[in-house]
């Protein structure tokens, strides 16, 4: 797949196979993800691997669609509001790099914002000076839904003088 195909075929996966994902491969994708743009090289991302015990405590309604791996990605606050915002944006770039690297090798991801909730942050032990960017189920998809069409980008363009 070329880059456009990887981007276009990725879906938020809601049905995983039980097949394990190779941890070395996971680390390769996460390492590649660190090449994300990040202002002042703050590298604000951190990754928590969520084990079975913690996963049970989170009590997600579908247990992350039985994904074999669950990770949380958090972003460190900056020295001020602007830097905190920049860090969160950089960490979202990190996430997209990871998701697309995995997808290029047939591994899908489910992105949920549930870990942003205060109770979930507490269970995960997220320090107060970090934003939760998302919690992710990672695994081989049992099913990949058809894409939901997006609005033509021309409709969201403005040409300034």
Q: Are strands 108-112 and 69-76 parallel, antiparallel or unpaired?
A: unpaired
Say whether residue 62 binds ligand FMN (CB under 6 A).
no
- What is the number of other CB atoms lying within 10 angstroms of the CB of residue 93? 15
Q: How far is the CB of 77 from ligand FMN (least distance, A)?
A: 18
Residue 134 vs 139, nearer CB to ligand FMN: 134
Considering only 44, 108, 134, 137, the residue that binds ligand FMN (CB under 6 A) is 134
| Count of residues that bind ligand FMN according to CB under 6 A | 8
Considering only 7, 32, 47, 114, the residue that binds ligand FMN (CB under 6 A) is 114
Q: How far is the CB of 161 from ligand FMN (least distance, A)?
A: 33
Residue 9 vs 27, nearer CB to ligand FMN: 9
Q: Which residues pair with 73 in a beta bridge?
A: 47, 134
Q: How far is the CB of 74 from ligand FMN (least distance, A)?
A: 13
User: Considering only 39-47, 50-58, 83-91, 112-120, which stretch makes contact with ligand FMN by CB under 6 A?
Assistant: 112-120
Angle at 108 between CA 103 and CA 113, to 5 degrees: 120
Considering only 6, 68, 111, 140, the residue that binds ligand FMN (CB under 6 A) is 111
Q: Residues 6 or more apart from 139 whose CB is under 8 A from it? A: 13, 16, 17, 18, 19, 21, 66, 67, 68, 69, 107, 108
Say whether residue 97 binds ligand FMN (CB under 6 A).
no
Say whether residue 12 binds ligand FMN (CB under 6 A).
yes
Could you tell me if 149 and 75 are in contact, meaning their C-beta atoms sit under 8 angstroms apart? no
Question: DSSP string covering 19-46, please?
Answer: PPPPHHHHHHHHHHHTTS--GGG---EE
First-last CA distance in the chain: 38
Give the residues lining the site for ligand FMN (CB under 6 A).
Answer: 11-12, 111-114, 134, 148
């Amino acid at each position: 797949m070329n880059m456009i195909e990887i981007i276009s075929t990725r879906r938020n996966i809601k049905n995983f196979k039980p097949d394990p994902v190779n941890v070395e491969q996971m680390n390769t994708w996460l390492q590649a993800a660190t090449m994300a743009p990040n202002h002042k090289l703050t590298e604000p991302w951190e990754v928590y691997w969520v084990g079975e015990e913690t996963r049970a405590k989170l009590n997600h309604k579908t247990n992350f669609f039985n994904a074999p791996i669950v990770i949380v990605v958090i972003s460190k606050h900056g020295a001020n509001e602007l830097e905190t915002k920049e860090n969160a944006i950089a960490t979202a770039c990190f996430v997209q790099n990871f998701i697309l690297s995995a997808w290029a090798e047939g591994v899908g991801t489910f992105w949920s914002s549930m870990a942003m909730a205060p109770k979930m942050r507490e269970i995960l032990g997220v320090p107060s000076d970090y934003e939760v960017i998302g919690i992710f189920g990672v695994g081989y998809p049992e099913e990949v839904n058809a894409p939901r069409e997006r609005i033509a980008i021309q409709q969201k363009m403005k040409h300034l003088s």
